Amino acid sequence: MPMEVLPGPAGYIPTPAAFEGVELPAPGKALLHGKIVDEELAMREAAKAMLTRRNPTIFPGPLVLWGWNAGAMEKAKAVLELSMEIPNCRIIPMPDYRPKYPKIDPEAEINPNHPNLTILHNKIEACIFVGVHCHYANLSLRMIRAGTNCFTIALCAEMGHEDAMVSLRDVHAEEIRKFRDVLVQVRNELGIKWEPKMPPENPSLPKEEYQTLSVLDYGEYSYLLIPRRGEHVTETE
Amino acid sequence: MGLEYVRISPGFEKYMPKDYVDLVQYGQFGKEIDVQQLGQFKELVEEHPMCAGCFMAYFVRVFYASLPKPEDTIVIGTAGCARLALSQAAVPFIYGNYGDTNAVASGLKRALSIRFPDKEKDVVVIAGDGGLIDIGFGMTMHSWFRREKFTTIMVDNEVYGNTGGQESGMSPRGVQLKMAPKGKQFDKINAVELAKVAGCVYVAKLAPTNPKRIAKTVRRAILAARHFGPTFIHAYTSCNIEYSIPTEKVLEDARKREKQDFGFYEWMTDEVKEFFEELERKPEEVKA
């Protein structure tokens, strides 16, 4: 009997769901709480979570955020369409996977190496992972299940993720639009009134005016940027 | 590929952190940046957890500003101080196991040349004296024997700074360190001569006191590696913690070492020399 994959906190370093008998679904099927079910049913449960739990958030990964091919850009468009239909939805991006030390801004981005910071800070109880490379999605989803009570939904372009509460497979732009239609249907059934609108913009700091900065703005450290007077690069050879 | 990696999907510009938007708009991707413009554009590496006054952090900063094509570069590092900053840069980074950086770089460079036959992809290894000349010695040398076309940069702090101050092969003779109380019994390894003998086509040694010179050397090493074979830069990047150098004296120390044993040295094969003469003459001809 495979384990039931439920929102956490499951405790420090939980056993991966794959080790507890959860298997990835065949094409056309999906995972709901670790069980293989019809895609439609999984979509409805995912939609219900995004519509009823607190602070629903979409975490788009690099495969969506960066327009590296036509498919990625189309998928990005579909993600934005989906976000418009979820009441009070937010978009917090995961632009890459590099570690962020000494600290990240949890309202502006999510980092796969410590996703719990962003989720706990923003009190997110339902989220969608889309466009995140599978190895980092696996890492993040397990950490989220370990330390938070967030309901995780993986819209995976490959085979899916055992550690997500709902995992859909082979998800591209077309399937995201199908999920959006299911979500609108569930929203109407639940009697939630919502006019589609774009989520709020990223709250990170305003950009610096690099054009107007000069070396002299760096004060006593400017000597690290420019050679001293009279100092020349000796010619080689 | 290449620059297409650094284009935000339409519609997502206002959802990206400003850091990334700035990186695309004001960063070095796809532009010719002069290192003296440092501070006037969005840099590839900004925040890092290295010690205050670390000269290696400064070298890494100038290194990134010197990359000829950052959008097509992959950096490889290993355990040691440099990787703390390297892994946080907006350039793909691979963490090799201790000692195997040059083996990883060899495979990567070959794979990239098969996957992108019509594209120039630069691979640069930046590791410390321990990673390259002590523990990674065999793999470093063999990558040079095989004439693998990538750049190796040794950021030499003359000590194992991360693990409490053990002596390395690059520590100077007689130096006393926390974990080498009797003083080092042997001479500093002559990495530059080894690189020349092992088949590097471009070899340089420097103390990073002059950003323009660092930039020129890094750029030359990468361009020579692209076309001819392995290249090597030996950079003195002092460890102000293990060698107890006060933060404000770090640059002074580098200048002192530059006069003593780290004077700028550059060597290249004849064909590389011809290549640079050709490459660096062109702008003058255009002006004339």
Neighbours of A189 (CB within 10 A): 12
Residue A62 maps to a domain: yes
Residue A163 maps to a domain: yes
Domain extent for A161 = 17-189
Could A95 and B22 be called an inter-chain contact, meaning their C-beta atoms sit closer than 8 Å? no
The minimal CB distance from A76 to the residues B12, B87, B216 is found for B12
> Is some CB atom of chain A closer than 8 A to the CB atom of B17?
yes
Closest chain B residue to the Cα of A80, Cα to Cα: B11
Residue A213 has a pLDDT of 72
Residue A237 reports pLDDT greater than 50 = no
Q: Are strands A151-155 and A166-168 parallel, antiparallel or unpaired?
A: parallel
Q: Identify the residue among B9, B62, B247 best suited for mutation to test binding to A, counting A beta carbons within 10 A and taking the highest.
A: B9
Q: pTM, whole model, 2 decimals?
A: 0.87
- Percentage of the residues of chain B whose pLDDT score is greater than 90: 82
Give the pLDDT confidence of A54-96 residue by residue, as tens digits: 999 999 999 999 999 999 999 999 999 999 999 999 999 999 9
The CATH code of the domain that includes A32 is 3.40.50
Read off the pLDDT band of B243 (50, 70, 90). very high
User: Is the peptide bond between A102 and the residue preceding it cis, with omega within 30 degrees of 0?
Assistant: yes
> Is some CB atom of chain A closer than 8 A to the CB atom of B16?
yes
Residue A218 maps to a domain: no
Residue A210 has a pLDDT of 66
Could B88 and A98 be called an inter-chain contact, meaning their C-beta atoms sit closer than 8 Å? yes
Give the pLDDT confidence of A185-233 residue by residue, as tens digits: 999 999 999 999 999 999 885 655 666 777 777 776 776 666 666 666 5
Residues 6+ apart with CB under 8 A from B42: A210, B19, B22, B23, B25, B26, B27, B28
Residue A11 maps to a domain: no
Q: Where are the beta strands (DSSP E) in A49-179?
A: 56-60, 90-91, 126-130, 151-155, 166-168
Q: With contacts defined as CB-CB under 8 Å, which chain A residues touch B12?
A: 60, 64-65, 76, 80, 93
Residue A231 maps to a domain: no
Residue A211 maps to a domain: no
Kindly list the structural domains of chain B, giving each domain's residue range(s) and its CATH number in brackets, ordered by start.
Answer: 2-287 (3.40.50.970)
Residue B190 has a pLDDT of 96
CA distance B20 to B248: 33
Q: What average pLDDT does range B163-186 have in this prediction?
A: 93
Q: How far is A32 from chain B (nearest CA, A)?
A: 29
CA distance B70 to B80: 23
Give the pLDDT confidence of B185-230 residue by residue, as tens digits: 999 999 999 999 999 999 999 999 999 999 999 999 999 999 999 9
Give the pLDDT confidence of B63-92 residue by residue, as tens digits: 999 999 999 999 999 998 999 999 999 999
Q: Which of residues 67-96 of B touch A (CB under 8 A)?
A: 84, 87-90, 93
Domain count, chain A: 1
Q: Identify the residue among A98, A110, A208, A216 best suited for mutation to test binding to B, counting B beta carbons within 10 A and taking the highest.
A: A98
Residue A5 maps to a domain: no
Could B22 and A208 be called an inter-chain contact, meaning their C-beta atoms sit closer than 8 Å? yes
